[in-house]
Amino acid sequence: MAEGKIVRIAGGQGFWGDDLEAPVRQVEQGPIDYLMLDYLAEVTMSIMQKQRARDPGAGFARDFVPLMERLFPAIVEKSIRIVTNAGGVNPRGCAEAVVEAGRAAGVEGRASVGMVTGDDLMDRLDSLLSEGHELRNMDTDEPLSTIRDRVQSANAYIGAAPILGALVKGADVIVTGRSTDTALTYAPMMHEFGWSADDYDRVAAGVVAGHINECGAQCTGGNCLIDWWTVPDLDRVGFPIIEAHRNGEFVVTKHDGTGGRVTRATVSEQIVYEMGDPTNYITPDVIADFTTIQLTDAGDDRVRVHGVRGKPATEFLKVSIAYSDGYKAVGTLTYAWPDAAAKARRAAQVLRERLDRLGLEFDDIRTELVGWDSTHGFLAGEPPADLPEVQLRIGVRGHDRAAVERFTREIAPLILTGPPSVTGFAGGRPRTQEIMAYWPALIRREAVEPNLSVEVLPV
Amino acid sequence: MTMMPLVDLAHARSGDKGDTANVGVIVYETEHYDLLREALTVERVKEHFGELVKGSVERFELPNLHALNFLLHGALDGGGTVSLMNDAQGKVFSTALLRMEIDVPDEVASKMRGRGRAP
């Protein structure tokens, strides 16, 4: 391992909804220089968009604000900097709330919040389309114009540059919108070691570090299949820490005395998570070749990562677009022994016949048996008659809201009018959800990058 | 040769990208990587998943991690927010693949049998 300066970048959240105490443990239980908090996923942006549609002040990871109120005194004292995409579809609202949290935490005049904006393309969408940016769906190749009137949000995935800008300006907490998850980890590495944007191998190593770091404990023993029954103390699982070196090598580890496990196997499971073509892991800053990653044991709960190669990024940025695509609802009922699965299936059949008789039409109706086939489908085989119990899970999807609403009123009647031995309906009627579908597209980077902006707000 | 479930030869993790699920499969013992490559052809994996995967199957090799990565297109009923599936984000396609029975030499079977299961 190379000698010299080590920069410790801790991962504290793997998604919006992750362990609320993990970021606090990362700050309190050992030395770190940066805390990276990833709140976003494809699904999350759609959810935040729905929230902003109801309340213009919403649309970001609200949990981040009270978290910062707790963390501010410690990060100011220890000079820890925080990099997060908690801003979601409203980074300004998030950053302003964080400034207020800093004042409430008593660090007024001693900290600042960097805010990255410009990834939001919604207000520019029509001018972009008229300039010839078709924003074709990467999966279906359809142009965006086919659903333009239903688009609810459009955000470009952005890379390290604006985060670097905020770090140079001295921000202690950096709030972005749709930054890539990996940039939250490698931007601090580029900043600390002075890597240039064309140092492809080192930036690619940073991307690999970011990919390992971005899902929290999923690389330190959480959700880990290998030997899961032996992973110790998951109740206080240690979240990942990247010990980065100037030459691009790094060690994946966790704080001493925490639960979980870091081995080549736990890190490998995270590396293959959400992987596409491993030779072309595309980011806004570099294309990393994951087949060049070398993992070496470096002691207890320490894995050294080296050998990573990269090549120049493409001319495009990915765009995450959410659009309204109808409605769905899912209801459940529980059936008991004997013949639990047969009763559940009969109930589903009765329900489908009633929906038909009511003249309701849906794009899809799906029946699953939780406890039997809802995870592995037909691979589970036929359920035995002595199955102790099973949960019927039945869902519909369609563009007629009234039809979906009526479906939600057809579950409860099955209790007294369907097959016997049924329970588990205490939650009441299922809720009708508006579907925000995901439309992945590409856009030429020069259409986005000049609009990115960094502001630093004093606390 | 003996039939053995893949769960005793490899561990795995899966995730999603739109309507596509990915499954990364990693052998427990590095010397079994070639066995994995030979057994898990695109055709075999496509056949294994049957109606669960509406589109094509792609395969990528990661010899450095002794792993294969599969993309299962059209596996998530539209994906993420659209899907009516309990597993809308493809989190457990990993163990669904590990149900596959593969043919291995007898000594591999006797060494590995039970490796992937809690005692």
- Which of B14, B25, B96 shows the shortest C-beta gap to A379? B96
Query: Hey, are the CB atoms on A291 and B67 less than 8 Å from each other?
Result: no
In this structure, what CATH number is given to the domain that contains residue A337? 3.30.70
Reported as a single tens digit per residue, the pLDDT across A140-186 is 999 999 999 999 999 999 999 999 999 999 999 999 999 999 999 99
Q: Are residues A106 and A157 in the same domain?
A: yes
Reported as a single tens digit per residue, the pLDDT across A109-149 is 999 999 999 999 999 999 999 999 999 999 999 999 999 99
The token pair that represents A345 in the structure block: 């299936």
Angle value at C-alpha A154, between A148 and A160, nearest 5 degrees: 155
The answer to whether A354 touches A307, Cβ cutoff 8 Å, is no
- Compute the average pLDDT of residues A198-211: 98
Kindly indicate the confidence band of residue A275, based on its pLDDT and cuts at 50, 70 and 90. Answer: very high
Inter-axis angle of helices A183-193 and A200-213, to 10 degrees? 140
Query: Hey, are the CB atoms on A272 and B11 less than 8 Å from each other?
Result: no
Angle value at C-alpha A273, between A272 and A278, nearest 5 degrees: 40
Q: Taken in order A259, A264, A267, A269, is the CA torsion positive or negative?
A: negative
The answer to whether A240 touches A219, Cβ cutoff 8 Å, is yes
Q: Are residues A354 and A216 in the same domain?
A: no
Contact residues on chain A for B81, CB-CB shorter than 8 A:
43, 46, 435-438
- Number of helices (H), then strands (E), belonging to chain B: the values are 4, 6
Q: Per the structure, how many domains does chain A have?
A: 2
Query: Hey, are the CB atoms on B82 and A435 less than 8 Å from each other?
Result: yes
Reported as a single tens digit per residue, the pLDDT across B57-90 is 999 999 999 999 999 999 999 998 899 999 999 9
pLDDT of residue A49: 84
Reported as a single tens digit per residue, the pLDDT across A23-34 is 999 999 999 999
Q: What are the φ/ψ torsions at residue A306 (nearest 5 degrees)? A: -155, 170
Does residue B81 sit at the A interface (CB-CB below 8 Å)?
yes
In chain B, which residue's Cα lies nearest the Cα of A329?
B84
The token pair that represents A342 in the structure block: 């047969």
H helices present in B1-119, as ranges: 33-39, 42-49, 93-98, 106-112
Query: Hey, are the CB atoms on B77 and A366 less than 8 Å from each other?
Result: yes
Instruction: Tell me whether strands A81-84 and A173-175 are parallel, antiparallel or unpaired.
Output: parallel
In chain A, which residue's Cα lies nearest the Cα of B89?
A43
Contact residues on chain A for B14, CB-CB shorter than 8 A:
273
- Compute the average pLDDT of residues A46-58: 89
Share of residues in chain A with pLDDT > 70 (%): 99
The token pair that represents A21 in the structure block: 């105490």
Is the residue at A1 inside a domain?
no
Contact residues on chain A for B89, CB-CB shorter than 8 A:
43
The answer to whether B23 touches B70, Cβ cutoff 8 Å, is yes
Contact residues on chain B for A292, CB-CB shorter than 8 A:
64
Does residue A141 sit at the B interface (CB-CB below 8 Å)?
no
Q: Are residues A129 and A245 in the same domain?
A: yes
pLDDT of residue A187: 98
Q: Are residues A75 and A204 in the same domain?
A: yes
Q: Are residues A155 and A39 in the same domain?
A: yes
Q: How far is CA A224 from the centre of its chain?
A: 18
| Residue A2: pLDDT over 70 | no
Q: Are residues A378 and A284 in the same domain?
A: no
Q: How many inter-chain contacts (A to B, CB under 8 Å) are there?
A: 134
When scoring B7, B11, B22, B68 by the number of chain A Cβ atoms within 10 A, the one with the most, hence best to mutate, is B11
Q: Are residues A313 and A328 in the same domain?
A: no
Establish whether the linkage from the previous residue to A338 is cis, with ω within 30° of 0.
yes
- Compute the average pLDDT of residues A294-307: 98
Kindly indicate the confidence band of residue A266, based on its pLDDT and cuts at 50, 70 and 90. Answer: very high
Q: Are residues A304 and A387 in the same domain?
A: no
CA distances (Å), A418 to each of A352, A404, A421, in order? 12, 20, 10
| Domain extent for A94 | 6-320+447-458
pTM above 0.95, yes or no: yes
- Number of helices (H), then strands (E), belonging to chain A: the values are 12, 19
Q: What is d(CA B71, CA B46) in angstroms, rounded to the nearest whole number?
A: 10
Q: What is d(CA A155, CA A200) in angstroms, rounded to the nearest whole number?
A: 25
Kindly indicate the confidence band of residue A3, based on its pLDDT and cuts at 50, 70 and 90. Answer: low
Residue with the larger pLDDT of the pair A426 and B55: B55
Q: Are residues A33 and A145 in the same domain?
A: yes
| Residue A75: pLDDT over 60 | yes
| Residue A235: pLDDT over 90 | yes
Within 13 Å and on the Cβ side, how many CA atoms surround B24? 29
Q: Which amino acid is at A237?
A: V
Reported as a single tens digit per residue, the pLDDT across A357-401 is 999 999 999 999 999 999 999 999 999 999 999 999 999 999 999
| Residue A200: pLDDT over 90 | yes
CA distances (Å), A39 to each of A91, A179, A218, A456, B93, in order? 12, 10, 14, 21, 24
| Residue A411: pLDDT over 70 | yes
Q: What is d(CA B18, CA A306) in angstroms, rounded to the nearest whole number?
A: 31
Q: Is B50 exposed, middle or buried (0-12, 13-18, 19+ CB in 10 A)?
A: exposed
Average pLDDT taken over every residue of chain A: 96
Q: Are residues A338 and A278 in the same domain?
A: no
Q: Are residues A163 and A98 in the same domain?
A: yes
| Residue A336: pLDDT over 80 | yes
pLDDT of residue A1: 52
Reduced to 3 states (helix: H, G, I; strand: E, B; else coil), residue A327 is strand
Reported as a single tens digit per residue, the pLDDT across A444-459 is 999 999 999 999 999 9
The answer to whether A271 touches A214, Cβ cutoff 8 Å, is no
Query: Hey, are the CB atoms on B82 and A374 less than 8 Å from each other?
Result: no
Q: Are residues A106 and A161 in the same domain?
A: yes
When scoring A48, A153, A267, A274 by the number of chain B Cβ atoms within 10 A, the one with the most, hence best to mutate, is A274
Task: Identify the residue whose tokens are 């995450």.
Answer: A320
